[in-house]
A and B are shown apart, each in its own frame.
Chain A
Amino acid sequence: EPEVTQTPSHQVTQMGQEVILRCVPISNHLYFYWYRQILGQKVEFLVSFYNNEISEKSEIFDDQFSVERPDGSNFTLKIRSTKLEDSAMYFCASSSGGFTDTQYFGPGTRLTVL
């Protein structure tokens, strides 16, 4: 069964450093998403991406964040200058399309900012 994969599983970085989190969505999916879950809190939507552009973003997704689909398979989330409060589990998801379609989630990348 196709799965969303994410790398790395755990990333440790120093405050102020740039990080790139990588995702490989399910191959025939067209819509891509990033969510995050700060420890002990709800899973929160960050951004959705379709047709090579952002289709929706939350207030969390400020200028420090960017997303990219650099080739036909990868989907990345970049944080330009990490802050302590960026420490969280970051989940990538993909769907084939439409509001009724299921979003399938990857295993997550745990980001720790020191």
Chain B
Amino acid sequence: AQSVAQPEDQVNVAEGNPLTVKCTYSVSGNPYLFWYVQYPNRGLQFLLKYITGDNLVKGSYGFEAEFNKSQTSFHLKKPSALVSDSALYFCAVRVDRDDKIIFGKGTRLHILP
């Protein structure tokens, strides 16, 4: 069965420090990987995706993620965290010929001023 794991329920980072939110996946077939962010009382906002090509993908708000096929990981990173980055982050995967996106349980990112 296809699955996505986000091993951390919460990540705390001081403002200005680099941040990493971890994600690993397990699929049969070619994975298409996504990161979404959810702010309070808002929907899921698309941040970035990996489809093919360069393993490092850049997205909105200065975020980037690195696809690592051997480790089946797609960790989200940002060089310098802002307090406004505090939100709930979801990693997700989609597989060829599947309509659905499979989500991880989410990681709450808390940036400390």
The interface stretch among B17-25, B69-77, B78-86, B91-99 is: B91-99
In the bound complex, residues from chain B placing their C-beta under 8 Å from that of A105 are: 36, 43-46
Can you report 9 A-B residue pairs in the complex whose CB atoms are below 8 A from each other?
Answer: A35-B101, A45-B101, A55-B99, A56-B98, A99-B96, A99-B97, A100-B32, A100-B51, A105-B45
Number of residues from A at the complex interface, CB < 8 A = 25
Residue B57 CB within 8 A of the other chain: no
Residue A91 CB within 8 A of the other chain: yes
Take A100-B51, A105-B36 as given contacts and tell me if A33 and B42 are in contact as well, using a CB distance cutoff of 8 Å. Answer: no
In the bound complex, residues from chain A placing their C-beta under 8 Å from that of B92 are: 43
In the bound complex, residues from chain B placing their C-beta under 8 Å from that of A108 are: 43
In the bound complex, residues from chain A placing their C-beta under 8 Å from that of B105 are: 41-42
Which residue on B lies nearest to A37, using beta carbons? B103
Interface residues of B in 28-42 (CB under 8 A from A): 32, 34, 36, 41-42
Number of residues from B at the complex interface, CB < 8 A = 26
Interface residues of B in 6-28 (CB under 8 A from A): none
Total contacts A to B, CB within 8 angstroms?
Answer: 55
Bound Cα distance from A103 to B103, whole angstroms: 13
- A: residues with CB less than 8 A from B are 4, 6, 31, 33, 35, 41-45, 48, 55-56, 58, 91, 93, 99-100, 102-108
Bound Cα distance from A45 to B49, whole angstroms: 19
Give min CB distance, B42 to chain A, whole Å.
6
Residue in contact with A48 in the complex, picked from B41, B90, B100, CB distance below 8 Å: B100
Bound Cα distance from A83 to B49, whole angstroms: 36
Bound Cα distance from A89 to B17, whole angstroms: 33
Residue B102 CB within 8 A of the other chain: yes
Give min CB distance, B90 to chain A, whole Å.
7
Query: Do B97 and A107 touch across chains, with their CB atoms under 8 A apart?
Result: no
Give min CB distance, B67 to chain A, whole Å.
14
Query: Do B42 and A107 touch across chains, with their CB atoms under 8 A apart?
Result: yes
